[in-house]
Chain A
């Protein structure tokens, strides 16, 4: 009787200890898991915020270049208006052209101010090391290509179309992780070229300078480009290109509105007798249209006219619009 009671009491203690211990262990495992998750999220948020700060802090210099290396454990995805990891997301208003996924390899961060025709914003390019962009140009596009102001940090090489051959290209691209081929003019049979050149991964595009249009292959999708800084964006971030193009036009509209207000104020300030009046009236009208239109050819025409007008203002010793 006594022995049985002792056994049941001991058994109860063991059962209690086992259940309570298991519950405690479970609690600690869950807590540790949650803690690790929170720590990772915090680290990811911290990294993304710092990354955005690094980009922003470089926006004040016109010629910027920097090498960035991402932490081993982190994979960053790039969207048009945000950077995100599996755990965190940071929205951004910066115009960054990059591969859609960034992993631990080193990247070159470069930037170029976007003038169309006035300065509107800084455009950033995040380029994986061992990437090459080759521009082949037709004789008619030689002056356009040679006058491009390509920052030295951008891995862009321009060659005349006469020097193009698939064999030479294969040799040229050996040792690179990715490449972009840009044909200013007509691309020689894009489908065959993409089928022949499989390594390294190749992006192919065609630029029509008469229409200011860039065509991405193999999708054959046409997009307008506004100025060379924007065109370089197509080379380094084709995935964000369409979205950034829309955003850049919106930004251009905002600035056009600002300059419209400025032209009106300058017109009022200088008075009716000023010789500058006619220029400001013309500028106000141009800027009003520029602040609303999304038509690519019209945008080009308006910006060209505005540039001429601004030069006229300068030559007549009038305060310029921009």
Chain B
């Protein structure tokens, strides 16, 4: 009888120990899980901030890109836009690795145009140019799936070397993620 009581007491003690240990382990793992979750969330947040900073820096970099900028003035040379489109087609791999998945476009703001026609080589050769078109899609590379798009833009001075003319435009960067 006494022996049985001792065994039961021992079993109860053992179960209590297991239970306490089990709860402590569960709590520890829960703590670790929550900590890891917040930690990875903060990493994701930092990565997003860096990507946003990258885009802003890239916007200023595009205005200074040798393929687009004027030789000695702070402006974009419109006579380089169509050649740049052709170059991107010719050297797709190089420019995709350089510019990534985004769309770079330029639109003339002043003087105002009634329609926003995209400039093509045939429109460029028309006597009415630059009045015949007002928009250039300089580069576009979309990823297979677009989760979000960040749009950034800046006002730029546009130079037409054919007429030695300066106008006002907007450079827009659409970064695909």
Would B7 and A59 count as touching, CB distance under 8 A? Answer: no
Would A270 and B162 count as touching, CB distance under 8 A? Answer: yes
Specify which of A2, A13, A57 is in contact with B57 (CB 8 Å cutoff): A57
With A5-B7, A9-B10, A46-B50 as given contacts, are A319 and B87 in contact (CB-CB < 8 Å)? no
Min distance, Cβ A17 to any Cβ of chain B, angstroms: 8
Specify which of A2, A56, A57, A257 is in contact with B87 (CB 8 Å cutoff): A257
9 A-B pairs (CB sep. < 8 Å): A5-B7, A17-B21, A42-B46, A56-B61, A60-B61, A120-B66, A254-B87, A258-B83, A261-B86
Question: A residues bordering B, Cβ < 8 Å?
Answer: 1-2, 5-6, 9, 12-13, 16-17, 20, 24, 31, 35, 38, 42, 46, 49-50, 53, 56-57, 59-60, 93, 118-122, 254-255, 257-262, 265-266, 268-270, 319-320, 322
Would B39 and A265 count as touching, CB distance under 8 A? Answer: no
Min distance, Cβ A277 to any Cβ of chain B, angstroms: 14
Would A261 and B83 count as touching, CB distance under 8 A? Answer: yes
With A6-B6, A59-B61 as given contacts, are A262 and B66 in contact (CB-CB < 8 Å)? no
B64 proximity list for chain A (CB < 8 A): 59-60, 122
Would B161 and A35 count as touching, CB distance under 8 A? Answer: no
B125 proximity list for chain A (CB < 8 A): 265, 268-269
With A49-B54, A268-B125 as given contacts, are A121 and B66 in contact (CB-CB < 8 Å)? yes
Please count how many residues in chain B sit with their CB below 8 Å of the partner chain's CB atoms. Answer: 47
Would B71 and A9 count as touching, CB distance under 8 A? Answer: no
Would A319 and B162 count as touching, CB distance under 8 A? Answer: yes
Indicate if B53 sits at the interface (CB-CB under 8 A): yes
With A9-B14, A53-B54 as given contacts, are A60 and B82 in contact (CB-CB < 8 Å)? no
| Alpha-carbon distance A257/B50, docked complex (angstroms) | 34
Identify 7 new A-B residue pairs, CB closer than 8 A, beyond the known A2-B6, A265-B124: A2-B3, A13-B13, A35-B39, A60-B64, A258-B83, A265-B83, A266-B161
B39 proximity list for chain A (CB < 8 A): 35, 38
Would A13 and B17 count as touching, CB distance under 8 A? Answer: yes
Min distance, Cβ A6 to any Cβ of chain B, angstroms: 7
Would A53 and B53 count as touching, CB distance under 8 A? Answer: yes
Min distance, Cβ A87 to any Cβ of chain B, angstroms: 14
Indicate if B146 sits at the interface (CB-CB under 8 A): no
B90 proximity list for chain A (CB < 8 A): 257
| Alpha-carbon distance A52/B71, docked complex (angstroms) | 25
Would B87 and A53 count as touching, CB distance under 8 A? Answer: no
Most chain A CB inside 10 Å of its own CB: which residue of B46, B50, B87, B94: B87
| Alpha-carbon distance A44/B125, docked complex (angstroms) | 51
| Alpha-carbon distance A63/B14, docked complex (angstroms) | 76
With A46-B46, A259-B83, A266-B79 as given contacts, are A119 and B124 in contact (CB-CB < 8 Å)? no
B residues 44-95 in Cβ contact with A at 8 Å:
46, 50, 53-54, 57-58, 60-61, 63-64, 66-67, 69, 71, 79-80, 82-84, 86-87, 90-91, 94
Would A93 and B98 count as touching, CB distance under 8 A? Answer: yes
A257 proximity list for chain B (CB < 8 A): 87, 90-91
Would B71 and A118 count as touching, CB distance under 8 A? Answer: yes
Indicate if B27 sits at the interface (CB-CB under 8 A): no
For the complex of A and B, list the 4 residue pairs with the smallest distance between their C-beta atoms, beginning with the closest.
Answer: A261-B83, A319-B161, A60-B64, A262-B83
Min distance, Cβ A110 to any Cβ of chain B, angstroms: 17
Nearest A-chain residue to B80, judged by Cβ: A262
Min distance, Cβ A157 to any Cβ of chain B, angstroms: 29
Min distance, Cβ B67 to any Cβ of chain A, angstroms: 6
A49 proximity list for chain B (CB < 8 A): 50, 54
